[in-house]
Amino acid sequence: MSTPLYLDLVAMVAPALSLWLLIRQKPSFVGIARRNLIRLNIYFFLILAADIGRIIAQSSIATYVMLVGFFLVAMNFGHAAAVVQFCPEARTWGGSMKIILKRTMLFPLFLLILGIWLAVTLTFEPVTSSLTMYGNEAYVLPAFPTWYIALTVAVAAPVVLYPSLLILSSLRRAQTSYTRNSLLLMLSSWLCFPTVGLVVFFLLSPMIPFSYELGLILSSALYCLLAISIRTLPGTTRFLKTSLFPQGLIKFGKRYLVLHDTSMRSISFLSSAFRSTIEAGAKVVLKSSATWLVDGLSRNDSRFKEWTENGKFVTSSARSDDKRFGKEGLSDKFGLSQTATVFVKELERQDLQGSMVSIARDSKNEPEAEVLLLESSQAPRPQVADFLQKNGDVELVNLSEASDPFSTLVNLDHPRIEGSKILLEYSSNSNFEDLVKKFFDEGIANAEMCTLFTSKSSKLYRALKGKRMVRIVAASSLVSAPDETPDGEIQIPDKELGLVTSLVTDLFENNKSVALSFVFDSITELIRGERWEQVYSGIKQLIELLSPSTVTAIFLVSKETTEERFLGALRGLFSVQMRLDDTEGQALRVVKAEF
């Protein structure tokens, strides 16, 4: 057996293993990413099989198949990089292409350059003949015209560069460590393949025997590692959309009406909201003057000057006068810079009279969100209510009322509550849903990221579903792997503590610049355990994970359905305990407080 043939057979091991791993993987978890990798390994396997046929039979048909395989691998990887950059939530190839073609001009150009190189290579007979003879028993070295080598190098530059830039852009946006590691591995795999397939083969093969086959072995090993890196393993949530598009207080695709009084609290809220948005890779465009906001941010946020200099916070005047904005718009069109925009506009009283076009229809090529600022003195409550009724996609954030609706129930202020881990006992007849709403309203008013962990069958889930500034993680027996709906709700299999802890870690890593508020409902649906000791151990693990002082958490427990021994043990875990009495007035009492 010749050395090139032996090396090709060795290289086949990795893509075969990758295919086996990917086919066994739960498909709903990573959407199109899994199918992209399956195709990638099939095409890579095709290249190796064709190379073996070329070596054994000296067949020109095998050479053509090998070249088409190179084209398919490069095309598929370019598509995979574009999916990661623009639409990681996409489930179908067609759906992803619709989004990609709307968002970037460079992807069709990338495919065109690849197609031109393939067409030239296939039609120029001396090149295909040289490729066919390369690798026989006498180890005939390929001999290509100088013009063809120059063409290949010229083509390789943009072909290698474009997917690399897309992955690098995603790397800047991703903040969780395992997502970054997977993207780095993806980038390494890509750089290895075209370097070997499009450059090394034509430049180094005449000087280094078997460099092509050795390069294929290295590439196949990296693709195998990439397949392993996105497998569905207990406790991982990689490649959910939120791990690649971390969203802060403002969610893309949503509109918010912010009632404010130009106070420091309003400035603080908007500063935190903009900070988390910009750190997620988006930009903020102020479409009206709002001098009180610009002055407040410039005085109170040390990063405001940096935002404006880098084009991450653009005012209406800068948009028309600053030439950098035009360059940034061109870069956005190519899909190589920010991938989302938050538009901020100040409303007048008369603006409340009409209806607005849905933001889903109004947005053009990139994910958008809109913040509508309205001074409370300009906002009669009946008129605001009528505006919200006419515009069902607008959520109200009221910063003009008391900011501590939950804390005041127990005669405390928000700073005393912040950072606490609270056990809240309730009875089945008590209105604990309203209590949780007040807790989240207080968190939102204080610029905190709010998340509810619950189950699909919970009354609390039904009460809070649709509240856009609260992220919902819902356990369900109907799903077998984590999934994310278009409105941002995350669904997980029930009784999977590993997934809960992984999501908590993600939320903390993606939102280090803001405080977090969590509510854990339906504990038995989130933690698997035949005995209460196992559930107790799971809750203890969550409390330890939530130890940072920027995290406030409430654990809900029903007094009637919880075993007394378990309830007594739980009380020992919490330094703050509250009880919602089933009495007239639904009084909330602090039973224990060690702030």
Q: Is there a domain that residue 35 lies in?
A: yes
Q: Which one is predicted more confidently, 576 or 46? A: 576
Both tokens assigned to 360: 């889903």
Judge if 447 and 563 occupy the same domain. yes
pLDDT for 215 equals 59
Asked whether the whole model's pTM tops 0.85, one would answer: no
Task: Supply the pLDDT for residue 232.
Answer: 40
pLDDT value for 576: 93
Of 229, 242, 244, 243, nearest in space to 34 by CA: 229
Q: For 320-340, b where at least 16 C-beta lie within 10 A, e where not — what string?
A: eeeeeeeebeeebeebbbbbb
The count of C-alpha atoms lying within 13 angstroms of the C-alpha of 474, restricted to the half-sphere facing its C-beta, is: 25
Tokens of 189: 């795999």
Contact in structure between 133 and 140 (CB atoms under 8 Å): yes
First and final C-alpha spacing in the chain? 75
Instruction: Report the distance separating Cα 379 and Cα 381, nearest Å.
Output: 6
Among 344, 374, 398, the domain boundary falls at: 398
Residue 560: pLDDT band with limits 50, 70, 90: confident
Verify that 224 and 264 share a domain, yes or no.
no
Percent of the chain with pLDDT over 70: 71
How much is the average pLDDT of 282-298?
88
Are 206 and 283 found together in one domain?
A: no
Question: What would the mean pLDDT of 205-214 be, rounded to a whole number?
Answer: 58
Specify the higher pLDDT residue, 311 or 407.
407
The DSSP bridge pattern shows strands 490-493 and 483-484 to be antiparallel
Same-domain status, 228 and 280: no
The pLDDT, as a whole number, for residue 206 is 56
Q: What angle do CA 506, 78, 163 make, to 5 degrees?
A: 70
- Pair 71, 115: CB distance under 8 Å: yes
**pLDDT tens for residues 322-334?**
444 444 444 455 5
Whether 429 is covered by a domain: the verdict is yes
Q: For residue 207, is it within any domain? A: yes
Residue 319 tokens, joined: 């948009």
Q: Which residue has the higher pLDDT, 317 or 578?
A: 578
User: What is the number of alpha carbons within 13 Å of residue 209 lying toward its C-beta?
Assistant: 9
Rounded CA-CA distance 530/528 in Å is: 7
Angle at 28 between CA 526 and CA 458, to 5 degrees: 30
Confirm whether 235 is domain-assigned.
yes
**Is the pLDDT at 31 greater than 50, yes or no?**
no
Rounded Cα–Cα distance for residues 34 and 370 (Å): 33
3-state secondary structure of 425: strand
Q: Which domain holds residue 382?
A: 255-398
Looking at the fold, whether 67 and 143 belong to one and the same domain comes out as yes
477 and 413, same structural domain? yes
Burial string for 88-108 (b: 16+ CB within 10 Å, else e) reads: bbbeeeeebbebbeebbebbe
pLDDT at residue 121, rounded to an integer: 84
Asked whether residue 441 is domain-assigned, the answer is: yes
Burial class (CB in 10 A: 0-12, 13-18, 19+), 148: middle
| Residue 491's CATH number | 3.40.50.300
pLDDT of 240 > 60? The answer is: no
Examine the domain organization and report whether 429 and 379 are in the same domain.
Answer: no
Cα(4)–Cα(16) distance, integer angstroms:
19
With cut-offs at 50, 70 and 90, classify the pLDDT of residue 472.
Answer: very high
CA quadruple 171, 174, 180, 186: dihedral sign: negative
Task: Tell me: do 218 and 360 sit in the same domain.
Answer: no
pLDDT confidence bin for 224, thresholds 50/70/90: low
Q: Strand, coil or helix: what is 41?
A: helix
Q: How far apart are CA 313 and CA 222, in angstroms?
A: 39
- Number of structural domains (the chain) is 3
**Domain termination site, one of 244, 275, 298:** 244
Instruction: Please tell me whether residues 124 and 218 are part of one structural domain.
Output: yes
- Answer yes or no: is pLDDT of 195 > 50: yes
Mean pLDDT of 252-260: 86
Looking at per-residue confidence, does 369 or 530 come out higher?
Answer: 369
* Residue 250 in domain: no
The token duo for 146 is: 């100088």
From CA 263, how far away is CA 374, in angstroms rounded? Answer: 13
Q: In what order do the strands lie in the sheet with 341-346?
A: 313-314, 283-286, 341-346, 368-375, 255-260, 394-398
Q: Region 239-265: what's the mean pLDDT?
A: 74
Average pLDDT value for residue range 8-15 = 58
pLDDT (0 to 100) of residue 276: 82
Residue 307 contacts by C-beta under 8 Å, 6 or more apart in sequence? 274, 278, 284, 313
In angstroms, the Cα distances linking 2 to 16, 55, 138, 216 are 22, 9, 9, 16
What average pLDDT does this structure show over 183-189? 79
Amino acid at 92: T
- The three-state DSSP-derived secondary structure of 202-218 is HHCCCCCCCHHHHHHHH
Mean pLDDT (whole number) for 73-86 = 84
Give the pLDDT confidence score for residue 556 in this predicted structure.
94
| The pLDDT value given to residue 417 | 92
Q: What is the pLDDT of residue 180?
A: 77
Looking from the CA of 62 toward its CB, the CA atoms found within 13 Å total 18
Q: Contact, 372 vs 258, CB < 8 A? A: yes
Name the CA radius of gyration of the chain, rounded: 28
Average pLDDT of the chain to the nearest whole number: 77
* Residue-level pLDDT at 334: 52
Going by C-beta distance under 8 Å and a sequence separation of 6 or more, which residues neighbour residue 452?
Answer: 436, 440, 460, 461, 464, 470, 471, 472, 473, 518, 519, 521
Q: Which two tokens stand for residue 260?
A: 């404010």
Higher pLDDT, 271 or 193: 271
Query: Both 214 and 292 in a single domain?
Result: no
Give a yes or no: residue 249 inside a domain: no
Q: Which CATH number does the domain housing residue 139 bear? A: 1.20.1070
Q: Which of 25-39, 178-192, 350-364, 503-517 has the highest mean pLDDT?
A: 503-517
* Among candidate residues 203, 221, 244, the one where a domain is terminated: 244
210 and 299 belong to one structural domain: no
The candidate with the shortest Cα–Cα distance to 118, out of 81, 155, 146, 147, is 155
Report in angstroms the alpha-carbon separations of 53 from 4, 17, 60, 72, 502. 11, 21, 9, 18, 47
The CB density around residue 397, as the number of other CB atoms within 10 Å, is: 21
Model confidence pLDDT, tens digit, residues 90-107: 777 888 888 888 878 889
Rounded Cα distance, 457 and 466, in Å: 16
Both 411 and 324 in one domain: the answer is no
Tell whether the model's pLDDT for residue 528 goes beyond 70: yes
The pLDDT, as a whole number, for residue 24 is 59
Least confident of 69-83, 132-146, 515-529: 132-146
DSSP 108-131: HHHHHHHHHHHHHHHH-HHHHHHH
Alpha carbon distance 465, 204 (integer Å): 60
Helix (H, G, I), strand (E, B) or coil at 15: helix
Residue pLDDT, tens place only, 490-512: 888 888 888 888 888 888 877 77
Kindly tell me if the per-residue pLDDT of 231 is higher than 60.
no
Q: Is 345 exposed, middle or buried (0-12, 13-18, 19+ CB in 10 A)?
A: middle
